[in-house]
Structure formats: C-alpha cells, structure tokens
A and B are shown apart, each in its own frame.
Chain A
Amino acid sequence: MPGKTPDKEPVENGGYRGGKDMTDKDLKPKGKKASKKEGDDEMTVVVPPSKASKHSSANPPNDAEGDVAMDDADKAAEGEVKADPVAQTINDIKSNFALLDRAVALFDARFTLRALRSISSIRKRLTPDILAQAISETYQPSSASALVAKQMLQVIGRPDVSLGRQPGPEMEIDSEPKATGKNGAKKEVKEVIPEVDVFLGILTQVLLHDNKQFQQGFGFSHYLVEQIRSVNRRTLDSLSAKVYFYYSLFAEQLAPLPPSPHSPIVSIRPTLLAALRTAVLRKDVDTQASVIVILLRNYLLTSHIAQADLLVSHTQFPENAANNQVARFLYYLGRTRAIQLRYTEAHEHLTAATRKAPSSACALGFSQTATKLLLVVELLMGDIPDRSTFRQPSMEAALHPYFLLVQAVRVGNLEDFETIVADHADTFRRDGTYTLILRLRQNVIKTGIRMMSLSYSRISLRDICIRLHLGSEESAEYIVAKAIRDGVIEATLDRERGFMKSKEVGDVYATREPGEAFHDRIRACLALHDESVKAMRFPMNQHRLELKNAQEAREREREMAKEIQEGDLDEDDLGGEFEGM
C-alpha cells in the first residue's frame, strides 16, 4: 500500500503523455479505419504495410517517453524495451489501461476515446500470443472478471494460458526486477475495472476480425454484448459503441451473406434495437449514433428500405455524435432517400456526407462510394456534376465509369447511354447504383430534347424521333409534351404539321433564380460561421487568467495616469501612444 501513491502517479502521467502524443499521429489511422468500416465492399482491406512500418518506427520514442516518466532510474533498461516489439506492444496496450482508469476517475470520455484511437496502431502488431500475455498479466485468477478473461483466451485459441502471470517473462533477460515488482504491487491492490475488460474484448474482436475468424468472433461478440448490457456505467459508452460495431461486422461476414434474408444480420436486429433503446434512455450518445448507423446499414444490406425509413423517422440521430458517425448516417440516409425518389433530400444528405468524410487519403473508400452515389443523384436531378470532381487524382480511376455515364447524359445520347450501362453493369451493380442508373433513361431523353430545343428554333417530331432513337413519332410527341409541361424546355407543339417550335429563351437574370442561389450561398456561409463558433473550445479557467491580466493592465494604466498627473513623464514618452490612438 505505501508503494502505491508514488508509483501510480508517474504511471498515469506517462500513460497520459503517451496518449497525447498518439492523438496527433493517430488521426490518420483513424480515418483509415473509417474507410475500412464504411465505405467499400472490400471491407477487409488490409492496411498498406508501408504505413504500418512507418508507424511502428514512429512509436518507440513515444513510449520511451512514457517509460521515462514511469521511472527515471530505468533509463538503462529502456533501450531493450524499445527493441522488443512484443513487450512494447504489451506496454502500449497497458498504457491504455491508465487512460481508462483516468476516464473513470475524472468521468471524462475524452480519455476513453484516446484509448480507442490507439487501437489502430496496436492492431498492426497484435498477435494471439501478445494478446494472451496481456490478458494473463492483467487478470488475477481470483478476480471477478476472470470469466471474461478466460473467454477471451479461449476464443483467440490460447486456452492454456493461465491468468495472473507476472509481467514480462520474456523480459527476464532485461532483468528488470524493479518494474516487475512495481506492476505486481499495483495489480494486487486494484480490481480490474469493467472498462479494461471491454477494451481487451475489443482488441480480441479486432484480432479475430483481422484473422478472418468470423464465426468465433461472432460468438464472442455476442457474449461481450451480453456482458456490456449487464453493467450500467456511463464511462463504458464509447467502448460499447465499438463493440456493437464489430458485432455487426462479424454478422455481415457470415454465410449466408447479406442479401439473403437468412443472413445472421437479421437475427442480431433485436439485440441492436434493444441496445438502441437502452442507449436513448441513458442518453448514451456514442452507442446511440453508432447503433443507428449499424441498423441502417443492416436494413439496407437486405434492401429493407421501408424499415430503414421507419427507423429514421422514429429515431433522432444525436446532434453531437462523432463526425465519422454523422458522415455515415448521412450517407445511408441519402441512399434511402435516393431509392425513394426523394432526390433533393438525398442530394442534400450526400453532399454533407462527402464533405464530412475525413479528407485524408485514408478514408478514400468512403469518399469514393459517397461521391459515386452523389453523382448519380445529381444526374437524376437533372444536374451535370462538375468536371473537377473527376479530376481528383484519388478518385479518377474509381469514377471513370461514372464519367462516361455523365458524358452520355450530358449530350443526351440514348444509344451511348445504353452501351455504357451495359458495359459497366457489373461495376454499377457492385456499387449498388445500378437500379438508380436505370432510372436515368428518362433524363437522357429529356436532355436530348433540351439540346434540340436549344439548337433548333423549329424541328419536326420525326427528326426528334430519329435523333433520340425513340420508338415512334407518337411517342416523341407525348414525350415532348411531357417535357414542356415539366418545364424542361420552353416550346410549343404544332399537331397538324408535326413540329416543335422553341420559344425565345428568357433572360435568366430577370428571374428569381440567381437571387435564390445567392441566398443559399450566403446562408451556407453564415451557418458555417455559426458552427465554427459553436465548435470552439476554450481551456478551463483561462478567462480568469485573462481577467487577471486585464486587471494588471488597468493598474498599470492607472499608475501611468497618476504619473502624468504628477508631470513625471515627458511629452515624448506619450507621443507614441497618442499616435497609436
């Protein structure tokens, strides 16, 4: 007991500092994870190795710093610690426990988030052995959550590892008796908090997912979810959000695969809905946001559009959810709306989703998928997307089929359009945009008619019919009439002589359109300003410091005024100030 206080403090400090360093560095991997989760069908994209190596090479100094803080006397041993990747990973994992401890003690979710963020860097180095060791060093066989620990060991295929092992058997060569003793002492006095259970559980999930052991992962996730639901701790919120996320990810990977109504994702819906209900009641924003997104994805995978729509209309997506979740939510919402032919709403949501998507190259999958859908919706609305969208180097290749599509629609060439749809049908189907693209046919026709009405002041229906490859003159007549009614073109038809006569195009600037466009932009700018004001964060108690400064300044001023009164100051001294005024 006496050893506790002096020891604990530095450890926390070190962990804290280590975590802080990581936040900057980990921004990127976080983005990458988002892309992996979200975006493409190739969900199990493996992280490029170059990045991983860069990362691990960047890490040691950071951890070394932690070690320094932990115990200055250990400086000599530190070199070896750094060299051993296994021990270092275990240390990384454990440094997060400190963060979780702190999160519980201070009731501040930011520390938990920091711990979660470090998962992506640990992930690349994680092996069953490392995790098993970390688990066995964390838990005592007698501790309350030993059952959870056993379950974890079982599922990663190391059931024979016993709990309560003293840390660092590999480190024996390093002969670090001091550190060992210290850690051991710490553990004896402290019961493992549930946050640590769940954190290790998430690591187990990650490991199983990376090793493609989906069946075990699903079983374990189910167990973990049950575990989470049995405790009611607010500090667990952001962790459980993650657990649910992996839970559904495992379910998606199991046969029969999603489009089939017998996929396991259907069977996890009740659990997710229950989780959502609980999260709403407990005002658990993280879980709420993430479970809504998971459910939406779940419904859309089995094409239960009506249910997805009902879910959206009956729940309120938390306003202060994490940015990534908001982006995902908007994407799925946009998708639902696009299918329901509510293009304006779909466009709004998808634009927001693409803007909110992490801008780093790592979340590319999500950006690409969202952009593809956005392009199709724009086409369906009768707009032609910007050429610059296709020029971005990161998007160019992925968007190529869509580029061709846009070209066909822009020109209004029905024949081209149909060949492109046929050529790239597989791509479109994989992107889930095929049915939407089929709806574009009428837009192509309308554009064709518009082009014709712009270029000719008078054209016979027969010519229209031939140019647009329509079935018959009667069809052409009806189609043109409909286009006129829908306001696509300004023209009149002459039935007796069978031609279309275009009206003079009015001046756009005389209408209210430019004013409205202007108004929209101004409103967007003002909203942006408001949001950035709201998003500002100020350090605690800073204002008091400023107040103090202000008070000092005032005192100085008063003194100066006094001196002036007394005539101590020369005119020259004051000169500068007057000019300034």
Chain B
Amino acid sequence: MKEFDLIIVGAGAAGLRAAITAVRKNLRVAVISKVHPLRSQSVVASGGLNAVVENRNGKNGETAGDRDSIQTHMKDTLDCGYGFSDIPALETLVRRAPSVIKDLERWGCLFTMESNGSYALRRMGASSFPRTFFAADKTGLALMHTLFEQCIRLRQNKDVQLRFFEEWLVLKLLVLNNTVYGVIAMDIISGNIELLSAKSVIWASGGFGRIYGRSSNATINSGWGLAVPYYAGLPLKDMEFVQFHPTQLSGSHILISEAARSEGALLLNRKGERFLSSYDDTKEAMELSPRDRISRNIRREILAGRAVDASCVHLDLRHIGAKKIQERLPGIRNLCKTFAGLDPLRYPIPVTPGQHYMIGGIDTNERAETAVKGFYAAGECANTGVHGANRMGGNSLLEALVFGEIAAESAASYIRKKHIKTPGNTYYINVFTEEKKRIENLLKQKGNVSIADIREKLQRTMDEKAGIYRDGMGLVEASRTLWELNNMYKADLKLDGRETRVNYSLINAIELKGSLDIADAVIQAALKRNESIGVHFRNDFPNFGGRPRHSLLSLWKGKIRIRFVPVNTNEVPGIKGLWSRL
C-alpha cells in the first residue's frame, strides 16, 4: 500500500492546476492518470479563457474599453446558461478569473498578443465584450504545457513530494462512512493492481463525451472516469445537460473551434444564405449566439432540406483573409487540410453539430466540496453549477483552473484541520481482494459479443435518442437498449488476452461498463426533466417549466434515484434579482 496526503485523479488542466497548489501547501501528492498528462483532452481545447483583467497597458482590450466588468462576465454566463447557474460558484469563477491569467502569464504561457504588445482578446459567443485570452487556436496546448512545465519545476525540487502515476487506470474509489480513503488503481503497463491510500482525493477525470459517437472528444473520454465516483455513491448533477457544439468537421467530428466564428466565420446553408437570420433566437447575435441555439438551428436547417451534402452546413472563413487565419486560426487550417482535405482559404468547411462538453458531473459547490468528506472534484467531471443549462465558450478552461486550485486549497485545509482516522487493515485487505477478484473474473469472460459491438451500439443509441432534440419515447427506447447492452456485457462479453499487463482489451472492457452506466444516467436524467431549457430540448415538452432546478442523480442500493433541487440564487451585489426576470 502506498500512502499519500492527497491523490489527484486526472492530469488535465484541473488536475495539474490542483497539483501545483497542493505541493506548494507541502502535501505529499500523487497524480494518477491513464495517459501521460500532455495526452489529456485539455490539450485539444482551442478557444481560450474568459477573464476581465486590466492588462499591462492599464485598460482592457481595445474594443472593450473600460466598460467590461466582472458583473458583466457574470451576467453573460448567467444569461447564456438560462439562469441555471449557482450564483456563489459563478461569482467565485469570475472573481478568480484575473488571477488565473496572472498565474499563467507568470509561468510563461504564450498568449497571443496585439501589435502593441498587450494581450489580444477575442469575443466568444454570448459574450458582451471581447474578454477571452487565447493562444492562437491552441490555447489548451499552450496552457497544458505551461502547467506541466511548472509541475516539472516543482518536482525537480528535492523537498517536493509530487509523484506521477502515468498510464494507471483507477478502478475503485474507497469511500467508507461517507469519508474518502484512497483508490485502487492498475498500472496499465505492468498490470499491477495497487491500493493507494490518502487523506483526501481530488477528482479531475474530465469529460465523458465518448458515450456519443458523434463527439469532438478524445477516445479516452469513455465515461469510466465519472463512473468510479458514481459507483462510490457520489451524486451527479444535471446529467441531462449535454452540450452540442455547432461546428464539428463533417464525418470525423473534429472540433472547429468557436474561435473561427469569433474571428468572423459565417454559417451558410446550401443556398449560401446566412440562415441563422431566419430564426428568432439567433437573428440578433447570429454566429455569436449561444451554442445551444446555433446547434438546434443547424439541425432545423438540415431537417428542412437546406443542408449541404445531406447532413452538414458550411462554415465560411474565406473572407477573413490569409494573414489573420495564419495568425489566429492556423490550427483550424491545418485540421481542415489534414482531416478534410480542403484549404479553408479557398473552400468553405463542411460542419455539423456534435457532442462537445458535459455540463453534468459530480455535484460540487463553490469550494469544490462534494457529498463525501475529503473528496473534491474539479473540471469537466464536476458540476459546480457555473454553466447553468448551457455553457458559454471560454468558461470551461477557466472553470478547470479556478476550481482545480480551489479543490487543492479545500483539500489542504481538510487534511490540516481534521483528525482523519484510517479504517484499519481489514477494510483495505477486503476491498483490495474484492477488486482484484472482479478484474480476474472479467478476464475470464469468453462470450461472443465484442467490446466494439457494444460500444458502437451504445454510441449510436446516444446519438439518435439523446441528441440535440430528444423525446420521452426515444429516451425510453434508449433506456431499454442500454439495459440489453448491459445484459450482454454481463453474460456474453468477448475479451482478448488473459493477463492484466498491457492488455487494452481488458482496459476497454473495464471502461465500457462505465460508458454504459454513465450513458444510462444521462438518459434517466433527460427522461425525468419534463421541460426544455438550454441544451436540453424535449420535443414532447418544448417549454420551460418556469423554475430553475438542478437534477441530482445517485445510485442507492443499485437503483438510480433522481430528485430536483432549486438553483442556488443567493444574491450577489451588482446583479441583484437578475435571474428572476427569466
């Protein structure tokens, strides 16, 4: 058994940010990730991060003048999320945003600059002002390198205890008497299974977009990362809120960042019309409208037969010009050349909406605390409530960094304050033996249905029945399909390889169970919310019920329980009563 003060699961933006703060607070830290940190989905994030900062020239970006404020940042986020944001968490997010930018700058993050040497800002969809800091269209890459570099710097200091467990898959979260005690994890390379105990655990496993087929997410985002705490009893909040990004490359569903529209790209239908103008909810802000509305209207356009090539529309960058594209959108140009075989300087890009971001996740508050003592969550796997019912572009990297840091602060004060009693060796031996047994049994599976077959059926079901438009009937059907797939998994799964060492068949089999159960959570929550709001559109209940409430879903003795709780609207000075007019 290895012992630590703090275990961080996941090494994307939230996990690495948490690690930096934690070691600075002199904690002995283990970071567990199933891939090397720089292979995390965070490196793909493109657009940027929102912050209202006075830059070194003493004022905000050129067009913003001095009119932007943290209140406006808050109001934009709240409006974009249809008033479903938890105010204390949202206020924490926007107030901490400037310090996030300062930290990143201090650590050397290469943000894009204006010709006068100040940081450039772009205006993302639903924002009133340009307030998004960015590094071309590769912000995630720049920022992840910066965070990882600082981790290396800390680790090279002999006094620092920061250990990375790269390519380790967490199998089980240890929770007893509502208190966290560590994890059981498997080294994917050696196949060894070990128990790692800790006084506190921060969960930063990222999103789970790969329960969908049409998704911009990395293949690693299977859902297993969220399934582990879900099995341990952690309540999941707003699982039905799945964000679909309007512009993904047709076919491969590789993301064409909102940065493109932010720099002036236009959405066109088959006739070359800017069709967003013919829909009430997008005719004002057009290409910079909130994502949910654009995605829905692209679907409508496709259903009305005005699509290009049956299922996509065009994103036109040609008028932006070679210079600006090379300067600000070079990644998008490369992606189009490599993955669609076209140069956006000369041709419009065929795009279609697809799953992009999971708003739902582990229920946390503004201190990153969860229902379990000593257990914190941050980043996409968490739902702090900041995004409400629709996430605004530029807020997710920000959320990962703000709440990654806060999670580490909360964990540090929990470890310092509480006298934490360990549960005794018998407990550890029992859970460890039980988990090892489970993996051994899985390895014995000699059925007929391949992992890929189940995964493909699951993804198709989610694409078709739990997409941009859903209805009760379809969701019930999806639920039944998932139940069948679960039975197939249990009774008839085909697994290759009989050992734990570098066995991707085993890894995929373990993760597939998580995909199935997390997908079911999304479906059950979507079925329960009999209204349409933000990203959740029910054809059979097209209107909003009138009261912003979160859904809370948890496992209780193997059964799913769902209840609704009101959104936390504790008033904040400056935007008093804002949500009530919705």
Are A and B physically bound partners? no
